[in-house]
Structures are given as C-alpha cells and as structure tokens.
Amino acid sequence: MCEECNDSEALIWVLRKLGNAYTKIGAWDDAIASLEKGVLLAESIDERLGCQLKAVVQNTMGNTYLEKFYTEESLVGIPERNDELIRKAFLCSEAAFKCYNSKGNSDCILFLDLAQEYYFLGKSGYAHAAIHSYLDGIVRLGPSQCHSCEQTCAKDVIMEKCSVCKVARYCSEAHNIQAWKKGRLCHKVMCPFLKRWRKMVEAMKQGKETADSHDELFNDFFELVLAFKPK
C-alpha cells in the first residue's frame, strides 16, 4: 500500500510510524530500512517541507539506533559494536538537530536522545547541556500538549497534570497510565527529575536558593541511565 501512495508527505509519515513499530518489536533492520526510505523521500520533495520531515525521520532513526544500543542482547560484551551503534545514533540525532535549527524549530525530545549519546561518547559537558535543554523544553510545553501522544489541545482545554512532578500533562487518564511505564525512559523514571527541575526553576524565578543543584540533578540522571548501559 505504501508503494502505491502518491502523497509523498503522507508516505513519509507512514514510513516513520512503520519504523517506530519495527523498533518496538526489535526488528532493527526493518526499522532502519523504513526510515532510510523516509529520509530519501524527504530529500526529493519541496525543500522547506522536506527538510522538516527529514529531521523528524532522522530523529526517529537516531532513537532506533539508541534503543538497539540499550536492548539488543546479542551485542552485550562487544564494545566495538556498541560504540558503532552509539555513533550512528549520534550522527542521526545531530543531523536532525541541524535541520531543525536551520528552520528555527526544535524538538525537546531530541535533546533527551542527544544527552544520552553525548554521555556514552564521553562528552559530559555536552550531555549536561543537552539534558538542560530537554528539561527546559518539557517545562515550556505547558498545559496544552499531552506528554504521551504529543497531541496539542485547544487553548481552552485544561489537561490533567501528573500529581507528583506537576509538569507532565495528559489528555486522558488512559494516556497518563500508559506513559507511566511505557518505554525505557518512561514517566516513572523521568518524573522525579522533572519534579526537581520544576522546583529549581520556580526557586530561581523567586530569587531563592535551593539545596539541589544542576550538577547534582544531571549526575543523578546519568547514573540512572548508566544502569541500562550494555556490559
């Protein structure tokens, strides 16, 4: 059906979703093949739209390499393969970032991927800057975007927020529950960091000092990520 589709934009989105689906079941080669088709197709259409779509697909491809790095059991104990994967993940994320940046756009979720990739490449300074941008971006999303499906609601619609971090918002109770344990860095993992970041931001706005610090929060985050690193 994809091959018969004449709408390039729609086909790119389908290929991205297909890549995501393959990633979730660990069909890495099929995921990458689908996403590479999406990138090539994005390069063949209108430059303005094509660049934006290419960034989205490259972002997804970077995440696919990152998930394989974390979860593919056959790679455990093979440092050179793990190093190759994390570099591929970084190159995809970096390409997506450059494309987003050239159009004045950004995707805060991309910074979460970049933070992990920088960390495992030994670039701790860049890793800290990236996680800083991610946390800032998540807080700025405000009350109009669901943190599970990423759909934006009308301005007069107030979504329910997480009762713990008071940052993440959801368009339904089902999405709230789904996000709690969905994925490696699910909301159960990220919630305490968002809560700490929110409190730090609020304190800084009021000119108050906090017992917490940027470095402490960032180091705690990466120690948590490190627990998932392939041995």
Confidence check: pLDDT of 88 > 90: yes
Q: Please tell me the distance from the alpha carbon of residue 146 to that of residue 97, in angstroms, as a whole number.
A: 22
pLDDT value at residue 99: 82
User: What mean pLDDT comes out for the span 177-203?
Assistant: 86
User: What mean pLDDT comes out for the span 165-170?
Assistant: 84
> Residues near 151 by Cβ (< 8 Å), separated by ≥ 6?
145, 171
Percent of the chain predicted with pLDDT > 90: 26
Lowest mean pLDDT among 127-136, 146-155, 189-198, 203-212: 146-155
pLDDT value at residue 206: 83
The structural domains of the chain, with segments of one domain joined by +, span 8-105
pLDDT value at residue 230: 57
pLDDT value at residue 224: 82
pLDDT value at residue 105: 58
pTM of the model: 0.83
Spatial CA neighbour of 119 closest among 228, 226, 227, 231: 226
Angle at which helices 47-71 and 28-42 cross, to 10°: 170
Confidence check: pLDDT of 182 > 60: yes
pLDDT value at residue 183: 79
pLDDT value at residue 19: 94
Q: Are 152 and 159 in contact (CB under 8 A)?
A: no
> Residues near 54 by Cβ (< 8 Å), separated by ≥ 6?
39, 42, 43, 96, 99
Spatial CA neighbour of 12 closest among 22, 2, 4: 2
Confidence check: pLDDT of 104 > 60: no
Lowest mean pLDDT among 39-53, 122-136, 148-162: 148-162
Q: How many CB atoms lie within 10 A of CB 97?
A: 21
pLDDT value at residue 43: 87
**2 pairs with which residues across the strands?**
none
Helix (H) or strand (E) holding 19: helix 8-24
Q: Please tell me the distance from the alpha carbon of residue 231 to that of residue 212, in angstroms, as a whole number.
A: 31
